[in-house]
Amino acid sequence: MQIIGCGNVDRGDDRAGILVAERLRDLGFRAEIHTGDALALLDRWPSDEDVIVVDAVVMGMPHGTIRVWDVGSAGAELPDFAADAAVSSHGFDIAKAIELGGALGKLPAHLRIYGIEGRQFERGAGVSPAVLGAIDSAVQRILAEVRFP
Amino acid sequence: MTGTSRTIKVDTLARVEGEGSLYIKLVGERVTDVKLKIFEPPRMFEAFLRDRHFSEAADITARICGICPIAYQMSAVHAIERALGLRIDPAVRLLRRLFYCGEWIESHTLHVYMLHAPDFLNYADVIEMARDHREVVEKALRLKKIGNRIVQILGGREIHPISAAVGGFHRVPTKQQLRELVPDLEWALASSCEAVQWTSSLEFPIFEQDYEFVALRHPDEYPFNEGRLVSNRGLNIGAAEYEDHFQELHVKHSNALHSIMRGRGSYLVGPLARFNLNFDKLPAVAQEAATKVGLHPPVKNPFRSIIVRAVELVFACAEALRVIREYEPPAAARVEAPNRAGSGQAITEAPRGILYHRYALDDNGLILSSKIIPPTSQNQRRIEDDLREYASHLATWPLDEATWKCEQAIRNYDPCISCATHFLKLHVEREEK
């Protein structure tokens, strides 16, 4: 199991994925931080392992909502992120990277995306209380998933 | 069609870095209004920098853009070094050129293959394109990764590198660390030459404009971060004179400031400008790649910028190999930068064009004021001028196709709207009478 937390430490709620990965790493899991562009993920995730990617999303869900997508080379649903790709702070966003990975046969066998609905993304902003709470919940859910597959 | 009024609006410009909005009004074949709208809270970086020590400028300005942080860092450190009167070790100068090579490789590869090529091949995006052109996209990913790797080795990490400093670098690589890049760069050079061939085979609209091209020019090299600022209409100035010749204007429909040349109007910066003003400074392999496909200055069709970017990929790979061959680590990674009052300006060539920085420092090295003018805001007026002319050619096209072609015309400029404004949301409104 490989956990990858994505985001930008300078942009408020966009830190969510990074904070989840850091908490899991402290608990002894193989968790890494990815702050680079989403295209680089295509080389980072192992193709023969289960992978969980955690990132902030903006989808019009209630603030702090966690949504999980089951993706992977099995061809299951892709994240239905906002069509407005401009909300991604990564440029080429994760949804596009996953779709491209699918087109190139570069997805892990099992890939789950944890999306945490954020609201404040201004440069220098802190993480909102709703997302801080969601981070706790996300960590618990991933722990449960790993212990009880 | 005479008298029929049509409006092309794009709500969210796709395949540009950041967010932008486009509004074009046509009456018959006449374009009556063009607005490239940028909806983002005004850039605050110039305010963030105030009262910070100059040593923080590289770190802060790198966060303006995730695609071209190196150009921001380099413009900042060059301007501050000028303010402090610092002289840089030649080995550091070489490393800085290598740094630019990395950024140009990753940025141009992203744009050529993932953002721009789909337009020419009638794909909605690179994902659709990958299903039919898998090998091309895989090559692009490998090429981009090589650019990222250069940035990571020199800068400490791929995004928002941490190693660049006033006076040099916090840490420099060993010769061996750089030599490890050589096999990949040799592959990248060959792949870039193929990119020139491949892009030249695309189909291009017939569209040329009479541009004033503006770029750096250096006596010895294709420009990255040093040189005088020149144009094809006689401009020839140092960075210190930039604000005497260029002016920023606030326009109502945009949160990015528009730049014009005083007394002249819009101008064009970026790969076309560099290629047209510096072809003779390209290494032989890049010149040959261009002439082999019939590309020679002046290139006035902005759609052909995709080929020019591919030629610049050839240059960046060849230059990276040259630097690695010649590099010997400096005696010190950086020279001491004393606190001293002063002011300095610098212009460097980001992948998208010239980037201007100015800083004023006090006796304690704190930044009193700064000015940052990105390439995309400098091209904004020129993009609108292109659209004003190009959209009139599309007056009889179905609205959907005309809209898409206008978006393609914007993507000619590889706009980094995050730099220009930090997010532009594109709204398209359609209106037919």
**Gap between the Cα atoms of A26 and A30, Å rounded:** 9
pLDDT of residue A78: 60
Q: Enter the tokens of residue B378.
A: 């400098």
- CATH (domain of A127): 3.40.50.1450
Q: Please tell me which of A31-35, B100-104, B374-378 the model is most confident about, judged by mean pLDDT.
A: B100-104
Q: Is B134 on the interface with A (CB under 8 A)?
A: yes
Where residue B155 falls among pLDDT bands split at 50, 70, 90?
A: confident
Verify whether the Cβ–Cβ distance B127 to A96 is below 8 Å.
yes
> Which chain A residue has its CA at the smallest distance from B126's CA?
A100
Among the partner-chain residues A10, A86, A103, the one whose CB lies closest to the CB of B12 is: A86
**Gap between the Cα atoms of B200 and B194, Å rounded:** 10
**In chain A, what residues touch B41 (CB-CB under 8 Å)?**
122
- Specify the 3-state DSSP secondary structure of A136: helix
pLDDT of residue B209: 95
What residue type is B122 in one-letter code? N
**Gap between the Cα atoms of B385 and B378, Å rounded:** 13
Where residue B415 falls among pLDDT bands split at 50, 70, 90?
A: confident
**In chain A, what residues touch B125 (CB-CB under 8 Å)?**
96
Verify whether the Cβ–Cβ distance A103 to B66 is below 8 Å.
no
**In chain A, what residues touch B18 (CB-CB under 8 Å)?**
86
Q: Which residue has the tokens 């080795």?
A: B153
Verify whether the Cβ–Cβ distance B130 to A100 is below 8 Å.
yes
- Nearest C-alpha neighbor of B248 from the set B124, B122, B134, B378: B378
Q: Is B130 on the interface with A (CB under 8 A)?
A: yes
**In chain A, what residues touch B131 (CB-CB under 8 Å)?**
103
Q: Is B67 on the interface with A (CB under 8 A)?
A: yes
Verify whether the Cβ–Cβ distance A104 to B145 is below 8 Å.
no
**Within 10 A of A143 (CB to CB), how many other CB atoms are there?**
14
**How would you write A85-108 as a 3-class SS string?**
HHHCCCCCCHHHHHHHHHHHCCCC
Enclosing domain of residue A21: 2-147
Q: Enter the tokens of residue B417.
A: 């709207």
Please write the tens of the pLDDT for every residue from A64-106: 999 998 886 555 566 555 333 334 444 567 777 888 888 888 8
pLDDT of residue A23: 95
- Specify the 3-state DSSP secondary structure of B299: coil
Verify whether the Cβ–Cβ distance A100 to B426 is below 8 Å.
no
**Within 10 A of A108 (CB to CB), how many other CB atoms are there?**
20
Higher pLDDT, B407 or B306: B306
Contacts of A149 (CB under 8 A, 6+ apart): none
pLDDT of residue B36: 79
Q: Enter the tokens of residue B425.
A: 């949301």
pLDDT over 80 at B208, yes or no: yes
Residue A8, phi then psi, degrees to nearest 5: -135, 115
* Alpha helix (H) residue ranges in B85-164: 90-109, 117-120, 126-132, 134-155
Q: Enter the tokens of residue B249.
A: 């204007």
Say if strands B246-249 and B258-261 run parallel, antiparallel, or are unpaired: antiparallel
* CA quadruple B139, B145, B147, B149: dihedral, nearest 10: -150
Q: Please tell me which of A8-17, A133-142, B377-386 the model is most confident about, judged by mean pLDDT.
A: A133-142
Among the partner-chain residues A39, A42, A86, the one whose CB lies closest to the CB of B423 is: A86
**In chain B, what residues touch A37 (CB-CB under 8 Å)?**
66, 158-159
- When scoring B112, B123, B126 by the number of chain A Cβ atoms within 10 A, the one with the most, hence best to mutate, is B126
Tell me the nearest-neighbour CA distance from B67 into chain A, angstroms.
8
**Within 10 A of A115 (CB to CB), how many other CB atoms are there?**
27
Please write the tens of the pLDDT for every residue from B242-291: 999 999 887 777 666 788 999 999 999 999 999 999 999 999 999 999 99
Q: Is B316 on the interface with A (CB under 8 A)?
A: no
Domains in chain B (CATH in brackets) are 5-41+395-432 (no CATH), 45-378 (1.10.645.10)
Tell me the nearest-neighbour CA distance from A144 into chain B, angstroms.
33
Please write the tens of the pLDDT for every residue from A13-37: 989 999 999 999 999 999 988 876 7
Q: Quick one: what percent of chain B has pLDDT higher than 90? A: 62
| Helix, strand and coil percent figures for chain B, each rounded to 5 | 45, 20, 35
pLDDT of residue B69: 82
**Gap between the Cα atoms of B13 and A145, Å rounded:** 39
Where residue B196 falls among pLDDT bands split at 50, 70, 90?
A: very high
Task: Confirm if B69 and B63 have CB atoms less than 8 A apart.
Answer: yes
A-B Cβ pairs (cutoff 8 Å, strict) = 66
Tell me the nearest-neighbour CA distance from B137 into chain A, angstroms.
8
Burial of B394 per CB tally in 10 Å (0-12, 13-18, 19+): buried
Verify whether the Cβ–Cβ distance A37 to B159 is below 8 Å.
yes
Longest dimension (CA), chain B: 72
> Which chain A residue has its CA at the smallest distance from B424's CA?
A86
**In chain B, what residues touch A84 (CB-CB under 8 Å)?**
12, 19, 425
> Which chain B residue has its CA at the smallest distance from A90's CA?
B66
Verify whether the Cβ–Cβ distance B137 to A100 is below 8 Å.
yes
Among the partner-chain residues B14, B127, B158, the one whose CB lies closest to the CB of A103 is: B127
pLDDT over 70 at B12, yes or no: no
Q: Enter the tokens of residue B45.
A: 């970086």
Domain count of the fold of chain A: 1
> Which chain A residue has its CA at the smallest distance from B135's CA?
A104
Verify whether the Cβ–Cβ distance B114 to A92 is below 8 Å.
yes
Tell me the nearest-neighbour CA distance from B18 into chain A, angstroms.
6
Where residue B427 falls among pLDDT bands split at 50, 70, 90?
A: very low
Among A142-146, B226-230, B302-306, the minimum mean pLDDT is found in A142-146
pLDDT of residue A75: 52
Q: Enter the tokens of residue B190.
A: 């060959």
**Segment 193-252 of chain B within 8 Å of chain A by CB:** none
Q: Enter the tokens of residue B254.
A: 């945009």
Verify whether the Cβ–Cβ distance A103 to B14 is below 8 Å.
no
